């Protein structure tokens, strides 16, 4: 069984440590202003569900537990 701080990476084919992709809130604010608020739902999704990134290959860990 995997350690709670690790997940299986499909690219590396093994359990790896991961980190979360930080959201650049200044960039998201600028995009929201430029699109007159249409970008806000995307910004909200990015902030509420951060992407896990593999520490070994840097790839996203979508759907892996």
The pLDDT, as a whole number, for residue 1 is: 47
pLDDT in tens, 2-13: 556 788 898 998
pLDDT attached to residue 37? 96
pLDDT tens profile 12-51: 988 999 988 899 999 999 999 999 999 999 999 999 988 8
Q: Are residues 11 and 18 in contact, defined by beta-carbon separation less than 8 angstroms?
A: no
DSSP letters spanning 15-46: EEEEEEPPP-HHHHHHHHHHTTTTTHHHHHHH
> For the whole prediction, is pTM greater than 0.85?
no
pLDDT at 21: 85
């Amino acid at each position: 069984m995997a350690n709670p701080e690790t997940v299986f990476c499909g690219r590396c084919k093994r359990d790896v440590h991961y980190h979360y992709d930080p959201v650049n809130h200044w960039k998201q604010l600028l995009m929201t202003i430029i699109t007159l608020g249409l970008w806000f739902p995307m910004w909200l999704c990015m902030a509420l569900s951060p992407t896990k990134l593999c520490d070994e290959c840097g790839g996203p860990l979508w759907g892996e537990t």
